[in-house]
Each structure stands twice: as C-alpha cells, then as structure tokens.
Amino acid sequence: MSPLSLMKQHAPDWAPRIAVVLGSGWGGLTKHLSNAVQIPYAELDGFPQPTVAGHDATLWLGNLGAQPVAVMSGRKHGYETGAVDGMAKPLKMLQQLGCHTLVQTNAAGSLRADMPPQSLMLITDHLNLPQRSPLVGLTGNDRFVSMVDAYDSELNSHAALIAKGQGATLFEGVYAWFLGPQFETPAEIRMAQRLGADAVGMSTVPETILARHLGLRVLALSFITNFGAGMSAEHLSHAHTLSQAKEGSERASQLLAEIIATLP
C-alpha cells in the first residue's frame, strides 16, 4: 500500500507537522507520545529496511503535547549500501503530509575533552567530509540548495532555552559526517578537530540536505556515546555505542520531548 493511504487509514483527519528521526539512544521518545499508532516500515512503500542491530524500523504517528508528529524510529545509513539517498522518499512523503520541520537525533563521538560521553550536543553546522549528496542526479535549479543556517537558528535558540529550563547542559557544535561503517582512525579524529568539528558520526547530514531541499526547517541533537578514536583508552564498538546510548536514553528523550512539544 502507498504510505500516504496507509497513514490515512491509521489516522484519518490527522496530519503531522513535525517529522522526527530517532538515532541510537533516542528510542525513549516514543514513550512520550499520546494517541500513538505504529506502522512497520515493511508496510510502507519507499521506507528503508534497516540492517543495523539496535535500530528499529517503525513509523510512529502521535502527539507530543499538542504537536502532531511523525516519528521515524530507524533510518537508512550511507554505509549500508553506499547510497546516501535512502531517506529521500520517507522525507518527501512526510513533507507532503504536512511536516514543516525535521528533528534529527543521533549518537556521536566527541572531539572535545570538555564534552564527555553522556553529553548532549545541539548541531549548529556540519562538515560533509565524504562530499556525498543525496541530491546528485536531480535536475532543476532547486537542487542548488543553500546550506547557510541549515540548522535553524531560531529552533536552536528554542532548544537551548528548554534545556536551560530543565537545568540540562546542552553543548553546541559542528558535526562531522564520516561514511563509516568503520570507526575513524586517530589521525582522522585529529583532522576533524583541526577542521573545526566538535563531534563525529555516520548519519544525519544526508537527511539535513534532503530536508533543506524540501524546504523543511532542521533541528538536530547528538547524544555523545564516546570520545573520538585515540582520545581515550576506551575500545570503540557498536555494542559500546548502544550500551552508552541506553544509559542516557531516558534523560535525552525527556529533553527532546519537551523541545518538540513547545517548538514554534
């Protein structure tokens, strides 16, 4: 069935305004949803079937406070097939349903000694290090998307205000995208630090580009699961990312739920 008709069948007379992508550690957000319905990606044409342990594949429709939201629990990563446009169809569909904002979350490694694991970071800008784009192959002048203010400054101020109100520390910084799936080398981490990055990860940037192309405003948050390779004695693994993310999930989701419920 087409995603649009399936969604209408699940929730007639209802349209989401905010699309959310949940990365590792952010699954707790769905506990804050009211009147939620779940649709497995398998039932939605064009939605990805994730191949990563610990990553779900469910679309949740519901409300956070008075805000109607569509929450994608699970995303397609560039490292799964090499293609970086795996989220193009889901995002287009959610925009067509009425979403004007995309809230993104991820797990990331810290490049800053003063931002330890379990920190939360608001992404204020990114480095597209692989220089891959989900817009390659499109035609038309609107493919030449401005990436200035890609992470919306008004939404960022709002998130910072809510964090302050909760007494939560919310770092701000630049996210450097590495394609993965291997973790970075210590030399790559030093390079990213010198280029001005504050965190590293394997997601988010393609979706931000897609969202800006669709005219969606973007807000993005990283949950810091580790220091970048070579910065500490810690051994990096996917299991380590998941266990760290699980530990801080409750607190991160609490903050995110309030940020979204009160978004302008």
Binding site for ligand HPA (CB under 6 A): 107-109, 178, 183-184, 200-202, 225-226, 228, 236, 241
C-alpha torsion angle, residues 189, 193, 195, 200 (rounded to 10): 60
Nearest Cα to 126, choosing from 204, 9, 11, 41? 204
Across the chain, the runs of DSSP E, i.e. the strands, are: 18-22, 34-40, 58-64, 67-73, 101-110, 120-128, 170-177, 199-201, 217-227
DSSP symbol at 17: S
Among residues 24 and 30, whose Cβ is nearest to ligand HPA?
24
CB of 70 or CB of 236, closer to ligand HPA: 236
- Dig out the tokens for 46 from the structure: 């064009």
Q: Is 158 a catalytic residue?
A: no
Q: Minimum distance from CB of 200 to ligand HPA (Å)?
A: 5
Catalytic residue among 15, 79, 231, 261: 79
Active site annotation includes 107:
yes
Give the residue with the Cβ less far from ligand HPA, 95 or 241: 241
Query: Cβ closer to ligand HPA: 149 or 234?
Result: 234
Residues 6+ apart with CB under 8 A from 27: 56, 73, 249, 253
Task: From the candidates 238, 240, 247, 261, give the one annotated as an active-site residue.
Answer: 238
Which residue of the set 73, 106, 119, 226 is catalytic? 226
Smallest gap from Cβ 1 to ligand HPA, in A, equals 34
Least distance (Å) between residue 238 CB and ligand HPA: 9
Q: Annotated catalytic, 55?
A: yes
Based on the residue annotation, tell me whether 32 is a catalytic residue of this protein. Answer: no
235 carries an active-site annotation: no
Nearer to ligand HPA, 107 or 259 (CB): 107
CA–CA gap between residue 71 and residue 18 (Å, rounded): 8
> What is the closest distance, in whole angstroms, from the C-beta atom of residue 197 to ligand HPA in the complex?
11
CA 226 – CA 220 distance, rounded (Å): 18
Tokens of 110: 């810290």
CA-wise closest residue to 105 among 249, 220, 235: 220
Catalogue the long-range contacts made by 164-167 (C-beta closer than 8 Å, 24 or more residues apart): 166/254, 166/255, 166/258
**Residues present in the chain in total:** 264
87 is catalytic: no
Residue of 107, 115, 192, 197 marked catalytic? 107
Q: Which of 93, 202, 211, 220 is catalytic?
A: 202
Q: Quick one: 19 or 107, whose CB is closer to ligand HPA?
A: 107
79 is a catalytic site residue: yes
For residue 5, indicate whether it is catalytic.
Answer: no
Q: Considering 7, 11, 24, 220, which one is annotated as catalytic? A: 24
**Shortest reach from residue 57's CB to ligand HPA, in Å:** 19
Tokens for 255? 């903050």
So which residues are the catalytic ones? 24, 55, 77, 79-80, 107, 202-203, 226, 238
